[in-house]
Structure 1
Amino acid sequence: MNWEIYDAEMVYSKEEGYLGKVRFILEGQRSRYEITLQSKKGNEWSYSLNFTEESGIEAEIEVAEKRLEEDDELFDALVEAAKSKLR
């Protein structure tokens, strides 16, 4: 299953560390997603996954969550997309 990243951003503050958002779609799904990434030092990332525009199909976000947990290439691509927009 492929993905497409269509928007990304990241900011850094001494107090909060790195905070980024990436908007993306997964092939074969109607829902669009936004992942919020946070890391104090930029090496270990916590995240929150949400629908981007409106509530989507619950089964699809469950598949997306599982994909994020299992697909290091996807997760790394999302982190790199955000880091590339660091202001």
Structure 2
Amino acid sequence: MSALPDSATPEIQNIYRQLAKGLGHELVTDDNVFALIDLAKHHGHDLLARELKEWQAPCSTPEDRPRTFTPTGGFNKEHVKH
């Protein structure tokens, strides 16, 4: 078996083992996500690697756009042809 990635510290390995069991999602941070992705790829755990990539992908913020749009009261009443 090939050597573990250099970033696979004992702490990263512990978090990875928990993630592989479906636990420990709260332990993933911006600081360790790339090391966890490398470790998942090393072990051939493609689904976990993909989930971690999605976790670290930037998401829209409220400054980008509203998360939900509030419907205007009576929209159809004002804009529907009668």
TM-score by length of 2: 0.31
TM-score by length of 1: 0.29
Larger radius of gyration: 2
